[in-house]
Amino acid sequence: MSEPLLRVEHLKKYFPLRGGLKKNAAFVRAVDDVSFTIRPGETLGLVGESGSGKTTLAQMILGLLPPTEGTITLDGADIWDKAHRAQFHKSIGAVFQDPASSLNPRTTVYRSLERPLELNGYSKGDARDLIYETAEKVNLGRELLERFPYELSGGQQQRVSIARAIMLRPKLLVLDEPTSALDVSVQAQTLNELLELQQKFGLAYLFITHNLSVVRYMSDRICVLYGGKIMELGETEAVYDHYVHPYTLSLLSSVPPLHPSQRNRKKYLLTGDMPSLIGELKGCRFASRCPFAQDSCREAEPECKDMGGEHLAACAFAGELDFQKD
Amino acid sequence: MEEKILQVKELSVSFSGGVQAVSKVSFDLNRGETFALVGESGCGKSTTARAIMRLIRAPGRITGGEVYFEGKELLGLSEKEMTAVRGKNIGMIFQNPLDSLNPVYTSGSQVAEGLIVDKMEKGEAWALVEETFRDVKIPDAEKRVKSYPHEISGGMRQRVMIGMMLCRHPKLLIADEPTTALDVTIQAGIIELMNDLRRKYDTAVLMITHDFGIVADMADRVGVMYAGEIVELGDVFTIFDHPLHPYTRLLMKALPVITKKEGRLETIPGTVPDLSKPIQGCRFADRCPDACDACRQYSPAMVEAEPGHLCACHRVKGGEGNE
């Protein structure tokens, strides 16, 4: 097994709620002790509901938000290490959900693509060659480059964002809901293009989404996040077909069926809301909504158990529960 | 019970610049039935729903067609008469419940308002509001009726909206992407609730969605829209098991139902045509893998390929598929 490209260790992000720096300040534990790795050329899918900490995690990995505790290393170097900062920015790229708001509306697409190259010391001529080359790779016609973002369709705008993200040949791309603003047919196109680029350049992806079908299509491994903690992590097949965490069960059973004949399938619907992440938290985060929760779940936080083959689950009863899969 | 509650006949809507957002859309809804209009953004599904409710704002305009609700034509009614139909006979819920609720009134009082308009006595109305909140499975109903919209979660707000519509027992509920803004776990709860309630009250539902999963979970019949037209219409099982229109077939194959190891998704080349210009021939011809000369010349008519299964495609003639 190759050395991991990205290593996230015991990462925490607590947002102060009031009291600021005072001792008794209350915190929102948005991300709480998360550890995982991404290997070169691999896609790790990150799934979870809104408020689970997906985007906070992405922002920390992109170096946009300093973690409260824990470390992130890319290619063996801490991303907050000043000596490696410039290299870090070149090694990582990002694509966000809304392509329109990630492009400057007042400049042409060409200019949006040229700017990062300028900052990295490319000459005008070299920049032009690279922009044309990259545009071709993401199937963006050369005539579109002189247009403004509003003159492009959503799918085309997203291709511009992808082109910009891969131009400097990063090793890791953070994709935060890259297709949720797109239509099904455009989504299929974008996903296929992302897979092609990955194969061509050996890119690693951190693919963040709430769409469980999209993440299954794209990922080698999947990480299920709930309330700022990892619930289950493993190979795509392990998480989808042999899940052991009750939260994964509820999440997957919430996905609408593929065919009307599955309408009356057994569902494990969640009731209530995600618990508040403020203050001291006791026990398992999912216990308040878990259909299998015991008293002990509310007392002690479950450890991350290895179910074999690097399939991790943070449930005290992982592997012992009868989910009646059908 | 095959009684038609809603009949839409050749409904057309245009916006400024001659954009034909909806062109001659026709479909029927039977009593108690759920009919889904499915399509990608810009296909005219929401505009169709709004046109039925006469909620098209200028410069948009209904340019033709008829809408019959229980045999009564709606497009010719005065605005006052239409107001009596909205909410009372036809309820509607939208994508973002926060936009539909007034932030300065409690959620309960907004639900009660409709009942009081119906000349219900105040105390009685409030009792019914509480009962409705229980009906839509809002926990702590007696407390939640006094909550303001910002104090409750998105899923709960959508439940308030559903309750607000259902407490006046409309015969038809139009739901325009009601779960698109919600998490998948919350969405599953809302779908289950809607399925339970429509059975309980025998309400017909016109579901507007882009998600085939929701269609599979809720619809009895489906209309697939493309570029302002219904291109295929039929029973939900028929549409899923043997779609006839090339657009429906391609769209189904674009759904990510596989893993990357199993293969690649099919894509639909090209883009939706510009609806501000007149289009000759079939609107899907430019993107269709099976297009022939006739497709580029003449617009295909809706034909009944088999009983109850309609399709607008030159390649489909009376039941023979084009697979």
Torsion angle (degrees, nearest 10) of CA B13, B15, B20, B23: -10
State the alpha helices, DSSP H only, in chain A. 54-61, 85-91, 109-119, 124-137, 154-166, 184-201, 212-218, 236-241, 246-254, 295-299
Contact A256, B214 (CB under 8 A): yes
DSSP code string of B92-134: EE-S-HHHHS-TTS-HHHHHHHHHHHTT--HHHHHHHHHHHHH
DSSP code string of B139-179: SSHHHHTT--GGGS-HHHHHHHHHHHHHTT--SEEEEESTT
> How far from B51 is each of A152, A209, B169, CA to CA, in Å?
28, 34, 22
Range of the domain at B46: 1-80+211-323
Chain A residues inside the 8 Å CB shell of B219: 260
The Cα A25–Cα A17 span in angstroms is 7
Residue B122 belongs to some domain of the structure: no
Q: Measuring CA to CA, which residue among B170, B188, B223 is closest to residue B178? A: B188
Biggest alpha carbon–alpha carbon distance for chain A:
67
Residue B163 belongs to some domain of the structure: no
Query: Distance (Å) from the C-alpha of residue B212 to the closest C-alpha of chain A?
Result: 8
- Containing B72, the helix (H) or strand (E) segment is strand B72-73
Q: How many CB atoms lie within 10 A of CB A309?
A: 11
The Cα B151–Cα B155 span in angstroms is 12
pLDDT beyond 80 at A279 = no
Beta bridge partners of B38: B209, B224
Interface probe for A, chosen from B137, B185, B196 (most Cβ of A below 10 Å), is: B185
Cβ–Cβ below 8 Å for A263 and B41: no
Cβ–Cβ below 8 Å for B184 and A184: no
Q: How many CB atoms lie within 10 A of CB A291?
A: 13
Interface probe for B, chosen from A184, A205, A241, A276 (most Cβ of B below 10 Å), is: A184
Strand, helix or coil at A253? Answer: helix
Sorting pLDDT into bands at 50, 70 and 90, what band is A154?
A: confident
Chain B residues inside the 8 Å CB shell of A251: 184-185
Position of tokens 């299929």? A188
Report how many domains make up chain B: 1
The Cα A94–Cα B52 span in angstroms is 43
The Cα B137–Cα A27 span in angstroms is 31
Pick the more confident residue, A267 or A191. A191
The Cα B80–Cα A223 span in angstroms is 55
Nearest neighbour of B257 by CB, restricted to A253, A258, A273: A258
- Containing A273, the helix (H) or strand (E) segment is none
Residue B22 belongs to some domain of the structure: yes
pLDDT of residue A22: 62
Nearest neighbour of A263 by CB, restricted to B41, B185, B217: B217
pLDDT of residue A86: 86
Sorting pLDDT into bands at 50, 70 and 90, what band is A199?
A: very high
Beta bridge partners of A278: A28
Beta bridge partners of B93: B175
Query: Distance (Å) from the C-alpha of residue B189 to the closest C-alpha of chain A?
Result: 7
Q: Are strands A204-209 and B61-69 parallel, antiparallel or unpaired?
A: unpaired
Cβ–Cβ below 8 Å for B192 and A267: yes
pLDDT beyond 50 at A203 = yes
Residue B269 belongs to some domain of the structure: yes
Query: Distance (Å) from the C-alpha of residue B136 to the closest C-alpha of chain A?
Result: 13
Phi (first) and psi of residue A207, to 5 degrees? -105, 110
Cβ–Cβ below 8 Å for A210 and B183: yes
Mean pLDDT of A91-115: 92
Q: Measuring CA to CA, which residue among B291, B298, B274, B74 is closest to residue B174? A: B74
Residue B95 belongs to some domain of the structure: no
Q: How many CB atoms lie within 10 A of CB B209?
A: 24
Please write down the long-range contacts of A132-138, taking CB distance under 8 Å and 24 or more positions apart. Answer: A134/A163, A134/A166, A134/A167, A135/A163, A137/A163, A137/A166, A137/A197, A137/A200, A138/A162, A138/A163, A138/A166, A138/A193, A138/A197
pLDDT cut 70: percent of chain A above it = 96
Nearest neighbour of A184 by CB, restricted to B40, B183, B264: B40
Q: How many CB atoms lie within 10 A of CB A323?
A: 17
Contact A247, A323 (CB under 8 A): no
The Cα A258–Cα A256 span in angstroms is 7
Closest-CA residue of chain A to B214 = A256
pLDDT of residue B47: 94
pLDDT of residue A320: 87
> How far from A209 is each of A58, A218, A284, B25, B69, CA to CA, in Å?
11, 11, 23, 35, 41
Closest-CA residue of chain A to B138 = A272
Residue B47 belongs to some domain of the structure: yes
Check CB contact of B242 with chain A, cutoff 8 Å.
Answer: no
What does the block give as tokens for A154?
A: 């959503």
pLDDT of residue B248: 95
> What CATH number is attached to the domain comprising B221?
3.40.50.300
pLDDT of residue A20: 58
Q: Which residues, including other chains, have CB under 8 Å from residue A106's CB and lie 6 or more apart?
A: A148
Strand, helix or coil at A160? Answer: helix
Contact B160, B107 (CB under 8 A): yes
Residue B70 belongs to some domain of the structure: yes
pLDDT of residue A188: 92
The Cα A256–Cα A304 span in angstroms is 29
The Cα A298–Cα A287 span in angstroms is 6
Planar angle of CA A57, A319, A268, nearest 5 degrees: 70
- ipTM computed for the complex: 0.84
Residue B186 belongs to some domain of the structure: no
- pLDDT in single tens digits along all 323 residues of chain B: 458 999 999 999 999 888 899 999 999 999 999 999 999 888 999 999 999 999 998 889 999 999 999 999 999 999 999 999 999 999 999 988 888 999 999 999 999 999 999 899 999 999 999 999 999 989 889 999 999 999 998 889 999 999 999 999 999 999 999 998 888 888 999 999 999 999 999 999 999 999 999 999 999 999 999 999 999 999 999 999 999 999 999 999 999 888 888 889 988 888 888 888 888 899 999 999 989 999 999 999 999 999 999 999 998 864 444 44
